């Protein structure tokens, strides 16, 4: 489990390799990652956008950004948490992801909440520094 906290908003990420959706002979490796967003701040916040910086084992970078997560823009009052699962395909057997969410507080201010860097590795294989 990977975690990062920005101004009371904690992001927890747990990646899982999806063997049944991967095809190594075709250079297709797929991971799911589950994210928990926990609001430990004193403000109600709404997730507006996401940004991902994805790097494969060869150093190729892909950037992904857009509104919400999995089609939602969750609102979290103080003490609330929100969980979702999404996925990431790569053409190499390992990689890394890092990013941020932009959230709007109930007072209208925006906050960039860091998503911790996490590693995408096939279980029971030697880890590669990406």
For the chain, domain boundaries: 2-121
Please write the tens of the pLDDT for every residue from 40-79.
999 999 999 999 999 999 999 999 999 999 999 999 999 9
123 pLDDT band (50/70/90 cuts)? confident
- Residue 2 has a pLDDT of 97
pLDDT (mean) for 14-29: 97
CA dihedral 15→67→38→45, nearest 10 degrees, is 170
pTM over 0.85: yes
113/122 Cα distance (integer angstroms): 28
Residue 72 DSSP code: B
pLDDT tens track for 86-122: 999 999 999 999 999 999 999 999 999 999 999 999 9
Q: Is the pLDDT of residue 130 over 50?
A: no
Whether pLDDT at 128 is above 80: no
Could you say which of 2.60.40.1470, 3.40.640.10, 1.20.810.10, 2.60.120.10 is the CATH number of the domain covering 2-121? Answer: 2.60.40.1470
């Amino acid at each position: 489990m990977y975690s990062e906290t920005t101004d009371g908003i904690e992001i927890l990420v747990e990646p899982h390799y999806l063997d049944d959706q991967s095809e190594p002979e075709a250079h297709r490796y797929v991971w799911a990652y589950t994210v928990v967003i926990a609001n430990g701040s004193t403000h109600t916040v709404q997730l507006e956008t996401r940004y991902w910086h994805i790097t494969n084992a060869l150093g190729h970078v892909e950037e992904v950004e857009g509104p919400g997560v999995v089609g939602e823009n969750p609102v979290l009052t103080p003490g609330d948490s929100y969980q979702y699962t999404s996925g990431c395909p790569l053409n190499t057997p390992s990689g890394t992801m890092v990013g941020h969410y932009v959230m709007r507080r109930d007072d209208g201010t925006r906050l960039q909440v860091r998503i911790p860097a996490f590693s995408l590795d096939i279980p029971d294989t030697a880890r590669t520094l990406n």
